[in-house]
A and B are shown apart, each in its own frame.
Chain A
Amino acid sequence: MTSSSLPVPAPTPRASPLRIVRELVTAIGQGPLNFIDQAGRLAVFCLSMLFWLPRRPFRWSQLFRHLRDVGFGSLFIVVLTGFFTGMVFGFQTLQGFRRFGAEALVGPATLLTLSRELGPVLTGLMVAGRSGSGMATELGTMRVTEQIDAMATLAVEPMQYLVVPRVLAATFMMPLLTAIFTGCGFLGCYLIGVGREGIDPGVFLYETWLATDPDDFYEGWIKGAFFGVQISLISSYEGFQASGGARGVGEAATRAVVLSSVSILVGTYVLAELLDPLIHSYIHFDALPK
């Protein structure tokens, strides 16, 4: 073969300044565009869920199944993490408060933190990790194996059958799990404060009774309900968007946990700002006598 018969490679297009600028602008703009696209799709998904939410038939069996999955399924890790969170929070707070001779205030400090912030946030993160990933995986598998399409062809609306019961179950169960987390955390703190550090149990409990209001608990429960909506909607959405087989389902589950967790951490600040004036200033629950 002579050199003249060899194929001549196509000349590489010269990188003109205009082309570089265009590619740079495209690369920078693609991220925000994708974010807006995903946010729009999620908004449409939420609106669709709201459309089907009040419509009959109500799927009671599906609702009870998901109440059990979200509630009972997450119970063990919520109890475990709640208990140890309370213990470590009590332990560390005690080290600080001892410097001011305020050991007796460990109980109220822990309970306030658990009920208003740590309870709903850590419960949300646990439920996102366990139930959120489960929802995304199950729905994602149904999507890639065409089970969701099959349901639609049987004149059963997948949004109504699959998503609405999950959202309701997570919304109902999250406040309950938050309350259990808070209770277990306070018990852990009590064991550290009273059992190990020798604080008088009467003082410990009386100081807690004096410093906390029922509205502190309401804030945590309301936050928990909001986090339940966030976790179930994001996880269901990611499951519905899954494509590309087992890998796609895995990626959907990962995205569901990451996005749910981020939305909880962002949402807790937003909700704190919104709920504080509503609950603690304008509406004062003074149900229990002091």
Chain B
Amino acid sequence: MNRPSTQPETTAVTSRAERPPAIEIRGLRKRFGDREVLKGIDLVVERGSILVILGGSGMGKSVLMKHIIGLLQPDAGQVIVDGEDISHMSALELKRVRRKFGMVFQQGALFDSMTNWENVAFPLREHRKDLKGQALDDKVRSLFELFSLKADVQGPRFPSELSGGQRKRVALARAVALEPEIVLYDEPTTGLDPITTDQVDEMILDAKKHLGITSVVISHDIASAFKVADNIAFLYQGLIVDQGHPSKLRHSEHPALKVFLSTWFGKN
């Protein structure tokens, strides 16, 4: 929580000299049966920045995300997190590396057998044995407050009793409970109304501003992508066909990206 907030451009320059990028993907390939989903992805995520991976449905965005956190192993290529290649790590090594991550799933993926409080307390109980009783309760409450979750959400209520936006915020509170360096967001605004979508966007920006978190967002929501992203990568048919600052991508000449963006910005 005490990590200082940083500007992405500054971080990118200094981190190259001091520390490796937060995430580096080299030549990532993945095939399921006859279908090659990822055909050689190259991607760099700088520390403290927000990268949005934009693309249509079925283009391999979720598969790419699952490789970044080691839920899937690549057929070829490397996923390098904080200088360590995680693509062929053992289960025990992966467990250690995953402490650096938080992940917010599309539907929240909150444990439905636990209350909202227990969901947020879950990673703390597992990994912060020093936090017990009142200290644990204080920590969980501070996380709820960080994401503007009121007392009624914190009580003995279950995730099924929450709205979509509240569920996403509880999921984010759980994801950042261990103060990860990197948070992955899987379609965070899908199925939400415009006001809740805006709240989720602010939440992603707040996580960067207040906690200095590196974020990777996969989305097909163009408006949200252009609002939160420091960099955008466009995934099309298993390849990153264009990437860069949002202002650069806005004028991309790639035909598929032009068609994709025209659905929001208009044909001209």
Contacts and interface: CB of A to CB of B under 8 A. Distances in A.
Contacts of A151: 111
Interface stretch (B30-38, B101-109, B209-217, B256-264): B101-109
A263 interface: no
Interface stretch (B12-20, B122-130, B146-154, B236-244): B122-130
A154 B105 contact: no
B69 interface: yes
A153 B98 contact: yes
B103 A150 contact: yes
Interface string A117-152: 000000000000000000000100110011101111
B71 interface: yes
B174 A154 contact: yes
B245 interface: no
Contacts of A157: 91, 95
A142 B113 CA distance: 10
A43 interface: no
A51 B90 CA distance: 12
A211 interface: no
B107 A155 contact: no
A153 B91 contact: no
Given A145-B112, A147-B112, A149-B71, A154 B107 contact: no
Contacts of B111: 142, 147, 150-151
Nearest to A155: B98
B132 to A, nearest CB: 14
A31 B102 CA distance: 41
A156 interface: yes
Given A146-B105, A146-B107, A153 B71 contact: yes
Given A145-B107, A146-B105, A154 B126 contact: yes
B99 A146 contact: no
A152 B69 CA distance: 9
Most-contacted residue by chain A among B98, B109, B127 (CB, 10 A): B109
A155 B126 contact: yes
A147 B106 CA distance: 11
Contact of A150 (B99, B109, B113): B109
Interface residues of A, number: 17
Interface of A is mostly: helix
B95 A153 contact: no
A149 B66 CA distance: 9
B105 A150 contact: yes
B71 A156 contact: no
Interface string B167-179: 0000000110010
Contacts of B112: 141, 145, 147
Nearest to B69: A153
Contacts of A152: 69, 71, 98
Nearest to A57: B126
A102 B91 CA distance: 62
A24 B123 CA distance: 53
Nearest to B105: A146
B109 A149 contact: yes
B229 to A, nearest CB: 22
Contacts of B96: 155
A141 B184 CA distance: 23
A94 B123 CA distance: 61
A12 B102 CA distance: 54
Contacts of B109: 145-147, 149-150
Interface string A34-58: 0000000000000010010000000
Nearest to B91: A157
Contacts of A141: 112
A153 B127 contact: no
| 10 A-B pairs with the lowest CB-CB distances in the bound complex, closest first | A150-B109, A146-B109, A153-B103, A155-B98, A154-B123, A146-B105, A155-B99, A155-B95, A156-B126, A147-B109
Given A146-B109, A154-B102, A155-B98, 10 more contacts: A48-B91, A51-B91, A145-B109, A147-B110, A147-B111, A149-B66, A151-B111, A154-B98, A155-B123, A155-B178
30 contacts: A141-B112, A145-B107, A145-B109, A145-B112, A146-B106, A146-B109, A147-B109, A147-B110, A147-B112, A149-B71, A150-B109, A150-B110, A150-B111, A152-B71, A153-B69, A153-B175, A154-B98, A154-B102, A154-B122, A154-B123, A154-B126, A154-B174, A155-B99, A155-B123, A155-B126, A155-B127, A155-B178, A156-B123, A156-B126, A157-B91
